[in-house]
């Protein structure tokens, strides 16, 4: 018998000063049985960072042809493809051909991955790559429950994630800017 995805109820109060986005959103996020807490948290953070009213979670791990998140136009065209983790150069190149905007939110030890990857994707103008700081990301992942209510404030590339009891500051590292 196949393992079922675990649903997480997520409520985000997003205040993105950098983009002028102020929204309260409630979503249910399915966690694949093989997905770690770190990846789940990275997907939720990516949702907050790149929030748009047409942004949706893809099937991710269960369908490798889909993004972790994507923004679709009203006619179903992919406008923004968002991956989390450390995708290889071939996946980034292929994904960047499917959407006018492509972003990666990397996590984990990204130094060696970035050194190998960046020369291969540097000419892809629509690709933006951000990295989460490891200790703060791990701290958030260790605190999640099945019901998540976060206040997420973004200002000057820094995320402040608060759950009412504590706050974690995540300084995003921009490894590659879109041109």
Report helix, strand or coil for 52: coil
Confidence of residue 169 (pLDDT cuts 50, 70, 90): very high
Residues with Cβ < 8 Å from 77, sequence gap 6 or more? none
Domain boundaries, the chain: 6-176
**CA 80/CA 22 separation, integer angstroms:** 20
63-96 pLDDT tens trace: 677 899 999 999 999 999 999 999 999 999 999 9
**CA 95/CA 99 separation, integer angstroms:** 7
pLDDT at position 60 is: 60
| More confidently predicted of 87 and 1 | 87
Question: Which helix (H) or strand (E) element contains residue 115?
Answer: helix 111-121
Q: Is the pTM of this model over 0.85?
A: yes
Calculate what percentage of the chain has a pLDDT beyond 70.
Answer: 96
CATH 3.30.360.10 fits 6-176, yes or no: no
pLDDT at position 65 is: 78
Q: How many CA atoms lie within 13 A of 160 on its CB side?
A: 12
Q: What is the mean pLDDT of residues 46-68?
A: 86
| Residue 51, token pair as written in the block | 């929030």
């Amino acid at each position: 018998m196949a393992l079922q995805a675990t649903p997480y109820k997520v409520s985000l109060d997003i205040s993105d000063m950098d983009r002028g986005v102020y929204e309260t959103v409630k979503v249910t996020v399915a966690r694949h049985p093989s997905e770690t807490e770190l990846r789940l948290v990275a997907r939720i953070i990516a949702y907050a960072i790149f929030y748009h009213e047409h942004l949706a979670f893809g099937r991710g791990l269960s369908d490798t042809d889909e993004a972790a998140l994507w923004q679709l136009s009203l006619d179903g065209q992919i406008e923004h493809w968002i991956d989390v983790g450390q995708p290889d150069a071939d996946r980034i190149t292929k994904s960047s051909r499917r959407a006018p905007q492509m972003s990666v939110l990397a996590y984990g030890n990204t130094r060696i991955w970035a050194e190998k990857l960046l020369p291969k994707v540097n000419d892809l103008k629509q690709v933006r790559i951000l990295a989460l700081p490891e200790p703060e990301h791990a701290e958030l992942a260790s605190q999640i429950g099945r019901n998540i209510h976060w206040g997420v404030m973004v200002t000057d590339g820094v995320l402040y994630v608060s759950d009412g009891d504590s706050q974690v500051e995540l300084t995003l590292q921009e490894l590659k800017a879109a041109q």
